[in-house]
Chains A and B, each alone.
Chain A
Amino acid sequence: MLTVRELCMRFGGVMALNRVGFDVAAGSVTALIGPNGAGKTTVFNCITGFYKASSGQIRLRGQTGEIDLIAILGEPLHVGDAWQPGKLAHKIYYKMFGGAHLATRAGVVRTFQNVRLFKEMTAMENLLVAQRHRVDWRPLSGLVQSRRFRRAEAAAVERGWYWLDFFGLGEDGNRLAGELPYGRQRRLEMARAMCVEPRLLCLDEPAAGLNPRETRELSGLIRQLRDRHGVTVCLIEHDMGLVMEISDHVVVLDHGQVIATGTPREVGEDPLVLEAYLGISGEEAA
């Protein structure tokens, strides 16, 4: 569903990602692991459009064909484009109005390592903001409370309650997001991401700061998202227990390069991975 090829990301002289390539199969849970500073979050930022990759390809395949997730961020213009007005117009359009929000609209939705909620708004309002596509934006219909507007709002609120219940936040709908305990904030952020109706859900360290019981609940929830709601999940995680338990496919990054891919079991036995994590070569470990 998602293909990443030859992805490079340079920050000045630093090569944060060096020809990273991997696939995320539809309906799978793919984990991105690696030591600190390996470039996992950089990969996420590239996929979700927060960074513009220096070079490479990121493509999302969907019902409507393939979407180039790099083009929608606005590519640099070349002299050669002048001969292809159509292409030029596209490029200029994306340069002006492109950005991370288009990646989201294409179906890639993320959560953040350090929770980013709208703290002064209630939990339900957080979820309503996420349902951009469902509500009626025209100011006039909101002012006169047109039937369509009210129906759209009601549908969005109902959807919001559904996801709040799903994540066990049914009692917290009218509480300010900033007041919720940390574990609930994490779940609220996931609920908010689900309100966008993603096809690919990217979770950046979803279990960080959770206690073991909450982590267990989380793995159950992620599995339900995949099985019941048909969401493909891509996650970064340090909790190996969680990774081994729920992921179908693991990609290991170190120093900006993919050093191993495979099932959790295969990766766990890979000498390169052991070396990256333990700082010794595989033979010494054995």
Chain B
Amino acid sequence: MSEAKETLLTGLVALLLFAPLTGVSLEGYGLNSHWQNPFLLAGMAMIGRLLLGRLRGLRLPAGLAEYDWQTRLQRPILAVVVIAALIFPWLVGKYWLNVATLALIYVLLALGLNIVVGLAGLLDLGFVAFYAVGAYFYALGFKYLDLSFWIALPGGALLAGVCGMLLGFPVLRMHGDYLAIVTLGFGEIVRLVLNNWIDFTNGPNGVRAPFPSFFGLDFSRHPMPGKSSFHQFFNLPYSSIHKEIFLFFLLFIVVCGMVYFVRRLRRMPLGRAWEALREDEIACRALGINHVTVKLSAFGIGAMTGGIGGAFFAASQGFVNPTSFTFMESAHILAIVVLGGMGSTAGVIGAAVILTVLPEALRDFAEYRGLLFGCAMVMMMIWRPRGLLRSRRALFRREQRAC
């Protein structure tokens, strides 16, 4: 596709997306139109696309010069993101901090599902089951065994990983549609068990999950006798935002670790084997790769990430019940992975942030959310089935030219 055509297409998509979002506003019972807004935003999107095209060229990598250029740009972008994340919590209120925390949880979940769907090519419609396992492990572990968050986090991840492998075993021989249906069923089973095993899980009434402690210090205004609380220890006036900021940073560190892990994985034998499995399972077996263990590891590591996300979700909400783990949630995470471009880390992160923050920012248009997601999805599948950002392959240099 030529550059001009790409730019026009971007503009069109942006226009369609922004028109209902920014073009009209509710006033009493009437609608006010602000027709200039969408055009302005679409114009910006077009300029952005044009610049992007100019910067990296629309052709696929031809040589190493471009590679060097891209790696050089990676660090500044990373630095900007990290600095922004460090400053952000001090500038905004509790509400937006909560939204940001939720966005980070979705980033984590999407990265986990991206391993299963994007890299290993196993369509999983029941990912939320592992999310639920992580969340409930923390909540129930606290209720019955008095487990702290710091034990529940790895424990929940481990349990979710084991569940992922257990699910993986029966579906080893399945592909595509069949696999999707089985995983869908698994997700529902987990939710229904949580809902109906009232003696153990408290059913629809849910379970309380406490807030994580800061190296043994809790965040309450009046700590238990004999214990000290965060604000007393550091001689700060009590503020309820402390714990939110703490959770945000904690989650940010975990997400950074996960991003690093996923990025490295793609240049590691395991990640390559996953991708090879997605491309052609028979060829994999012909190369001596044990497709059973490779598939199970993808399921397991993906599920583990879901479990970590679940523990954080329980901690941030302070309460879990089965309505948080419906099929819609799985569909939402899958939508993030698809929109972000299956297999592309940066794309998935971007999509997770946008799809969590946008609905919050545009609460007035909550009714049109599904419609917009649907439209965006259809357009993506038609024009950009591999996602907005095409995932870049690792490049290999020669040690010394053969002469």
Task: Write the residues of chain A forming the contact surface with B, with a CB cutoff of 8 angstroms.
Answer: 48-50, 97, 99-102, 104-105, 109-110, 112, 116-122, 124-126, 128-130, 132-133, 135-137, 139, 142-143, 154, 157-158, 160-161, 165, 170, 173-174, 176, 192-193, 196
In addition to A50-B282, A112-B282, A120-B275, 20 A-B residue pairs with Cβ atoms within 8 Å of each other are: A100-B285, A101-B290, A104-B286, A105-B288, A116-B280, A117-B280, A118-B276, A118-B279, A118-B280, A121-B279, A125-B272, A125-B393, A129-B272, A129-B276, A129-B287, A142-B269, A143-B260, A161-B402, A165-B402, A173-B398
A228 to B269, CA, bound (A): 29
Set A109, A122, A158, A170: member contacting B394, Cβ < 8 A: A122
- With a CB–CB cut-off of 8 A, which chain A residues contact B280? 116-119
| CB atoms of B395 and A174 under 8 A apart | yes
| CB atoms of A132 and B269 under 8 A apart | yes
Set B61, B268, B275, B288: member contacting A196, Cβ < 8 A: B288
| CB atoms of B61 and A170 under 8 A apart | no
| CB atoms of B261 and A143 under 8 A apart | yes
Chain B residues numbered 389-403 whose CB sits less than 8 Å from any CB in chain A = 393-396, 398-399, 402
* Chain A nearest CB, measured from B284 CB (Å): 7
- With a CB–CB cut-off of 8 A, which chain B residues contact A49? 285
Knowing A128-B272, A142-B269, A157-B396, the reply to whether A101 touches B291 (Cβ < 8 A) is yes
A112 to B283, CA, bound (A): 8
A104 to B291, CA, bound (A): 13
Q: Does B270 contact A (CB under 8 A)?
A: yes
Of the A-B pairs whose beta carbons lie under 8 Å apart in the complex, a sample of 26, sorted by A's number, is: A49-B285, A97-B290, A99-B290, A100-B286, A101-B287, A101-B289, A101-B290, A117-B283, A118-B275, A119-B280, A120-B279, A121-B276, A124-B396, A125-B272, A125-B275, A125-B394, A132-B273, A132-B288, A137-B269, A139-B265, A142-B265, A142-B268, A142-B269, A143-B268, A160-B396, A174-B393
A176 to B391, CA, bound (A): 12
A173 to B67, CA, bound (A): 15
A196 to B286, CA, bound (A): 10
| CB atoms of B292 and A122 under 8 A apart | no
A143 to B290, CA, bound (A): 22
| CB atoms of A136 and B269 under 8 A apart | yes
- With a CB–CB cut-off of 8 A, which chain B residues contact A133? 288
- With a CB–CB cut-off of 8 A, which chain A residues contact B278? 120
Q: Does B264 contact A (CB under 8 A)?
A: yes
- With a CB–CB cut-off of 8 A, which chain B residues contact A121? 272, 275-276, 279, 393
| CB atoms of A132 and B270 under 8 A apart | no
Q: Give the 4 A-B residue pairs with the shortest CB-CB distance, closest first.
A: A104-B288, A118-B279, A142-B268, A116-B283
Mask for B247-284, Cβ within 8 A of A = 1, else 0? 00000000000001100110111101101101110111
A170 to B399, CA, bound (A): 13
Smallest CB-CB separation from A134: which chain B residue? Answer: B269
Set B260, B270, B398: member contacting A139, Cβ < 8 A: B270
Smallest CB-CB separation from B286: which chain A residue? Answer: A110
User: Size of chain B's interface in residues, with CB distance under 8 A?
Assistant: 35
| CB atoms of A129 and B285 under 8 A apart | no
- With a CB–CB cut-off of 8 A, which chain A residues contact B284? 101, 129
* Chain A nearest CB, measured from B30 CB (Å): 51
* Chain B nearest CB, measured from A230 CB (Å): 19
Set A109, A142, A154: member contacting B270, Cβ < 8 A: A142
Knowing A117-B280, A142-B268, A142-B269, the reply to whether A132 touches B289 (Cβ < 8 A) is yes
| CB atoms of B292 and A97 under 8 A apart | yes
| CB atoms of A109 and B396 under 8 A apart | no
A174 to B278, CA, bound (A): 19
Residue of A97, A120, A176 most packed against chain B (CB within 10 A): A120
- With a CB–CB cut-off of 8 A, which chain B residues contact A122? 393-396
A112 to B292, CA, bound (A): 21
- With a CB–CB cut-off of 8 A, which chain B residues contact A125? 272, 275, 393-394
- With a CB–CB cut-off of 8 A, which chain B residues contact A139? 265, 268, 270
| CB atoms of B402 and A170 under 8 A apart | yes
A130 to B285, CA, bound (A): 10
- With a CB–CB cut-off of 8 A, which chain A residues contact B61? 174
- With a CB–CB cut-off of 8 A, which chain B residues contact A117? 279-280, 283
* Chain A nearest CB, measured from B294 CB (Å): 10
Set B265, B282, B393: member contacting A176, Cβ < 8 A: B393
Smallest CB-CB separation from B288: which chain A residue? Answer: A104
- With a CB–CB cut-off of 8 A, which chain A residues contact B288? 101-102, 104-105, 109, 130, 132-133, 196
- With a CB–CB cut-off of 8 A, which chain A residues contact B270? 137, 139, 142
Set B261, B272, B275, B287: member contacting A109, Cβ < 8 A: B287
- With a CB–CB cut-off of 8 A, which chain B residues contact A112? 282-283, 286
- With a CB–CB cut-off of 8 A, which chain B residues contact A142? 264-265, 267-270
Knowing A118-B279, A119-B279, A154-B399, the reply to whether A130 touches B292 (Cβ < 8 A) is no
* Chain B nearest CB, measured from A117 CB (Å): 7
- With a CB–CB cut-off of 8 A, which chain A residues contact B60? 176
Residue of A118, A158, A165 most packed against chain B (CB within 10 A): A118
| CB atoms of A116 and B282 under 8 A apart | yes
A105 to B290, CA, bound (A): 10
* Chain B nearest CB, measured from A149 CB (Å): 8
| CB atoms of A130 and B393 under 8 A apart | no
A208 to B268, CA, bound (A): 34
Smallest CB-CB separation from B293: which chain A residue? Answer: A97
- With a CB–CB cut-off of 8 A, which chain A residues contact B272? 121, 125, 128-129
Mask for B200-235, Cβ within 8 A of A = 1, else 0? 000000000000000000000000000000000000
